[in-house]
Amino acid sequence: ENTAELRPTHPLAIAPVVAPAASVDGFAKQFLQNLNFDQGVTLSNSDVNDQYLALAYTVRDYLMARWFDDRAQQKAQQNKTVCYLSAEYLLGRQLDNNLLAARLTDIATEALAQCGIDIDDLRQVEIEPGLGNGGLGRLAACFIDSLATMSIPTIGYGIRYEYGIFRQAFNEGQQVEQPDAWLRMGSPWDFAHPEAAQTISFAGTTETYDDEGVERTRWVPEWNVLAVPYNMMVPGYHNGRVNTLRLWRAVATNAFDLHTFNSGDYVESVRAQTFAENISKVLYPEDSTPQGKELRLQQQYFFVAASIADFIENVLPDDFDIEKLPERVIFQLNDTHPVIGVPELMRVLVDEKKLEWDAAWAITQKCFAYTCHTLLPEALEVWSVDLLGHLLPRHLEIIYRINDEFLLEVRERFGDDEMLIRNMSIIGEHPSRSVRMAYLATVAGSKVNGVAELHSQLLRDNVLKDFATMWPDKFTNVTNGVTPRRFLRLANPDLSSLITEALGAGWTVDLERLRGLEALADDADFRERFAAVKASNKRRLSSVLEARGEAPLDDGHMLDVMIKRLHEYKRQTLKVLHIVSTYEGIVSGRLDVDEVQARTFLFGAKAAPGYGMAKRIIHLINAVGEVVSADERVKGKLKVVYPANYNVTLAERIIPAADLSEQISLAGKEASGTGNMKLALNGALTIGTDDGANVEIRKLVGDDNFFLFGMSEPEVEELWAEGYRPADFYQKDERLRSAIDLIASGAFSGGDRTVFEPLVSNLLYEDRFMALADFSTYLDAQDRVDAAYADQDGWVRSAILNVARSGYFSSDRAMRDYLDRIWHATPVS
Ligand code: 9GP
């Protein structure tokens, strides 16, 4: 379009953009040119960061022409676009993923070698963008990868946080948080477009006015910020498609007051800038203060308002008939964070586009769908009416009207059942008036889905029961999935080669083909090769750990991993109790040391900075780890490793090396989990409860290849109803008593009994997540693990079957389910 407007005469200006030659020579030339002209250095003067940046620019150059085409097509086409609205994208490193997608890995490696550069050195330089907390954000990243690979026109919308998830360090075993300055060394993968900035308004009042005889309402905001888009390429795997991830950065409208500056008040002169830029400063600012809460709501509105405006103004054609919006877009609400988009779209349609309320509501309901990712009531966001009304007065009015009309519908359907009305109202009254965002999303969404079968069922039966009764067809399930490109092809190159050799290369985009490995589980030669890959992955992980200053892994140990966010419901404490019990059992002679498998327990977990109990658990893991790993009496048998700052990059090294995957949440608490899928896909056997996607993993891999323990969800409910007294379990099981007593005695805190006292009494007298109730079956299951691991041949067979039967957990399958059940969008050719 630009070229048309500019009426160019130069032939190159109207010729299509062409990618550099896909050859070693072509790549080397482009790389050197980028080094010279973009980085401003010669090869001999360049350092490794210059080289990494130039390499990234070069990969981009190969993808650029396709990106231009795909964006032009998006505007011209009639296809529906999936707009994924997510506060988190936990992308991981980009370089390898993009090289792989564009089939450039070998060419780039050779071209750099010819320049005297080892590409591995450049890989290490990349700082991963940690723009997410854990599963939710990584899921969003897997989904956009699959959508690009399936040629579905997609825009991922989110926030370009200046500081992503904090960097974790340990100081005397305790977590300390450091800012994650991921942009410090440049950000070669995104493109700023300040010219496409959106103005986002806040606060102020609303007023009615006469619009040629029609009374209308308008919002008179008090202040604005600019939302500047940064576009990232999302290349599909080997299909030439390049979608877009558009992340918004907040910039002040009037960044700098020269007059104030000249009067000498330098701090005041940039106040507006600081205030505005705080909005995209950090991922999940601490929200225990009112300011923190307001900032989070600002972030949410900021990115969804910018995204909706961007889609309407820049992605749709200029003459687009807004009433046809549902034909062209589905806004997928990734959890409750983007739900303020519902009243925002209503505001745009009613106040700006001047549609009638009913017509606007009909459009809005078709344009949104909602995924709920949790069952924990505290994770379902609510905003106080005061805060929402102050920050977004027009939106609160709109929410009230949506609620009024919705409650009328409820009355029509169920009569004047005041209790039911109160329970279903979008506005909660207790403890104070608030907007229940999950309810708003459910009322507005065309579909509501949970993220694993059990989770979706519990949503229908408990959390959103009344809504499911009212609209049974609205509710559906899409079990999560993970991208096989990053989590098998890239993370586990040796296993990938083995699979490709056995089955051909098609499995990367059709993961069900892994079924073909089942037959090979009985082939001794294949088992040997599979086991050799695992062993080599362990050695690789060991070097990574050593490079980070950790102790290397011991040969022959089972690698038992628990890698996930630190949360009480995930029950890292239960894992610690197992470690302490085994340690105590060996030291006291209760356990026959020969019966105990040599194990390394590996943890990776960050705790939310304001979550005191989770931080205490981290301290306990480190304290136990220090004592156990140093005790000569268990040397060679037990070891605990807890590398700090677990992130996607580290996960990609741990997962392929793991033997045992710990998925031990209390049944009914983990919505799905995705680490469980990644580990099974890489041949780790799961020890787990019947929770989240574990249920489906177990069904698929088979009971013989999965170690199930613990109460089922109905049993959990039953125990609560009976009255749960954790101390009774402590009294009943000697192993449990000894483990808890050892922690309480100060054995892991230099004799100081006070350090872990809060944790111990929490377990004995509260234990919200019933670790003590599941302890004995957990230990029994661990005994079964030990026995199974002793039979290496049998273990490897089970590991192969885990890989063979995990094809269902591809995010490509998850995307197909979203497309069929929710989005009804189709691929572009
Ligand atoms: O806790 C869930 C996790 O079980 C799930 O796998 C992930 C992706 O669906 O979402 C997590 N939820 C959140 O992070 C917040 O709701």
ipTM of the prediction = 0.99
- Distance (Å, whole) CA 643 – CA 650: 9
Q: Are 563 and 681 in contact (CB under 8 A)?
A: no
| pLDDT for residue 28 | 98
Residue 250 corresponds to which tokens in the numbers above? 């907040």
Token pair in block for residue 9: 């005469």
Residue 665 and residue 463: Cα distance in Å, rounded?
A: 19
Is the CB of 373 within 6 Å of ligand 1? yes
What is the maximum alpha-carbon separation in the chain? 90
Q: Are 494 and 683 in contact (CB under 8 A)?
A: no
Confirm if 808 and 759 have CB atoms less than 8 A apart.
no
Total Cβ atoms within 10 A of residue 727: 12
The DSSP bridge partners found for residue 167 are 178
Give the residue, by CA position, lying nearest to ligand 1 atom 14.
136
Beta bridge pairs of residue 463: none
Residue closest to 778 by CA, chosen among 632, 579, 644, 635: 579
**Annotated catalytic residue 564:** yes
Tell me the CA–centroid distance for residue 87 and ligand 1, in Å: 13
d(CA 275, CA 250) in angstroms, rounded, equals 10
- Find out whether the beta carbon of 333 lies less than 6 Å from any atom of ligand 1: no
Does the annotation mark 373 as catalytic?
yes
**Residue 277 phi, psi (nearest 5):** -75, -15
Tell which one of 84, 136, 482, 676 to mutate to probe ligand 1, the residue whose CB is within 8 A of the most ligand atoms. Answer: 136
Ligand 1 near 673 CB (within 6 A): yes
CA distances to 176, 317, 440, 815 from 77, rounded to whole Å, are 50, 9, 32, 21
- CB of 564 shorter than 6 A to ligand 1: no
d(CA 179, CA 182): 9
Q: What is the amino acid identity at position 746?
A: G
- Residue that is written with structure tokens 């030291």 in the block: 587
Q: Closest residue (by CA) to atom 8 of ligand 1?
A: 136
Query: For residue 139, which atom of ligand 1 is closest to its CA?
Result: 8
The Cα 561–Cα 655 span in angstroms is: 8
Burial of residue 433, with CB atoms counted within 10 A of its CB: 0-12 exposed, 13-18 middle, 19 or more buried:
middle
Contact yes or no for 446/368 (Cβ under 8 A): yes
Q: Does the beta carbon of 135 sit less than 6 angstroms from any atom of ligand 1?
A: yes
Specify whether the CB–CB gap between 225 and 198 falls below 8 A.
no
Please report the atom of ligand 1 found closest to the CA of residue 674. 6
Across the chain, which has 829 residues, the per-10-residue mean pLDDT values are: 64 85 97 98 97 98 93 82 98 98 98 98 96 96 98 97 96 97 94 97 97 96 96 97 97 83 84 87 88 95 98 93 97 98 98 98 98 91 97 98 98 96 96 96 98 98 97 98 98 98 97 98 98 98 95 94 98 98 97 94 96 97 97 95 97 98 98 98 98 98 98 98 98 97 98 97 98 98 98 98 98 98 93
By residue count, the chain amounts to: 829
Per-residue pLDDT tens for 339-351? 999 999 999 999 9
Strands annotated E in 128-238: 130-131, 154-159, 167-171, 174-178, 190-192, 198-202, 205-211, 214-220, 223-235
- CA of 461 relative to ligand 1 center, distance in Å: 19
CA 136 / ligand 1 centre spacing (Å): 5
Instruction: Tell me if 132 CB under 6 Å of ligand 1.
Output: no
In angstroms, the Cα distances linking 716 to 566, 727, 763, 781, 782 are 21, 16, 16, 18, 21
Q: State the distance from the centre of ligand 1 to the C-alpha of 733, rounded, in angstroms.
A: 33
State in Å: Cα 672 to ligand 1 middle.
7
Residue 306 CB-density burial (10 A; 0-12 exposed, 13-18 middle, 19+ buried): buried
| Residue 377 confidence (pLDDT) | 84
Cβ(128)–Cβ(668) below 8 Å: no
Structural contact between residues 147 and 101, judged by C-beta atoms closer than 8 angstroms: no
Closest-CA residue to 101 (of 61, 63, 156): 63
What class does CATH assign to 77-93+128-479+817-823? Answer: alpha beta
pLDDT tens digits, one per residue of 758-783: 999 999 999 999 999 999 999 999 99
Catalytic residue among 80, 246, 678, 698: 678
821 DSSP 8-state letter:
I
Whole-angstrom distance, CA of residue 763 vs CA of residue 730: 10
Boundaries of CATH 3.40.50.2000 in the chain? 77-93+128-479+817-823, 484-809
Q: Which helix (H) or strand (E) holds 562?
A: strand 558-563
Query: Which H, E and C letters describe 519-552, residue by residue?
Result: HHHHCHHHHHHHHHHHHHHHHHHHHHHHHCCCCC
Nearest atom, ligand 1, residue 335 CA: 16
Q: State the burial class of residue 106 (Cβ atoms within 10 Å of its Cβ: 0-12, 13-18, 19+).
A: exposed
User: Does the CB atom of residue 672 touch ligand 1 within 6 A?
Assistant: yes
431 preceded by a cis bond (ω within 30 of 0): yes
> In 324-426, where do the E strands start and end?
329-334, 368-371, 382-384
Q: How many CB atoms lie within 10 A of CB 728?
A: 12
Joined together, the tokens standing for residue 228 give 């500047």
**pLDDT score, position 5:** 63
Tokens representing 547?
A: 């490079």
Q: Which of ligand 1's atoms lies nearest the C-alpha of 671?
A: 4
Contact 825, 152 (CB under 8 A): yes
Say which CATH superfamily domain 484-809 falls into.
Glycogen Phosphorylase B; (3.40.50.2000)
Using the mean position of ligand 1's atoms as its centre, give its distance from the Cα of residue 667 in Å: 15
Give distance in angstroms: CA of 657 to centre of ligand 1.
24
Residue type, 775: F
- Identify whether the C-beta of residue 140 lies closer than 8 Å to the C-beta of residue 91: no
Distance separating alpha carbons of residues 729 and 748, to the nearest angstrom: 23
Cα separations in angstroms, 91 against 88, 234, 339, 596: 9, 10, 22, 39
Q: What six digits make up the tokens of 601?
A: 């327990």
Question: Nearest CA to 138 among 676, 802, 690, 541?
Answer: 676
| E strand or H helix that includes residue 82 | strand 81-85
Q: What are phi and psi of 282, to 5 degrees?
A: -135, 150
Residue labelled with tokens 């020890």: 687
Determine the distance separating the centroid of ligand 1 and the alpha carbon of 215, expressed in angstroms: 44
Q: Is the separation of the CB atoms in 674 and 196 below 8 Å?
A: no
Q: Which of 337, 372, 380, 451 to mutate to test the pocket of ligand 1 (most atoms within 8 A of CB)?
A: 451
CA nearest neighbour of 134 among 615, 806, 633, 646: 646
**Ligand 1 atom nearest to CA at 134:** 14
Confirm or reject: Cβ of 403 under 6 Å from ligand 1.
Answer: no
CA Rg value for the chain? 28
Any ligand 1 atom below 6 A from CB of 671: yes
Three-state secondary structure call for residue 432: coil
Helical residues (DSSP H) of 631-725, grouped into ranges: 648-654, 675-681, 694-701, 713-722
676 closest CA partner among 562, 799, 577: 562
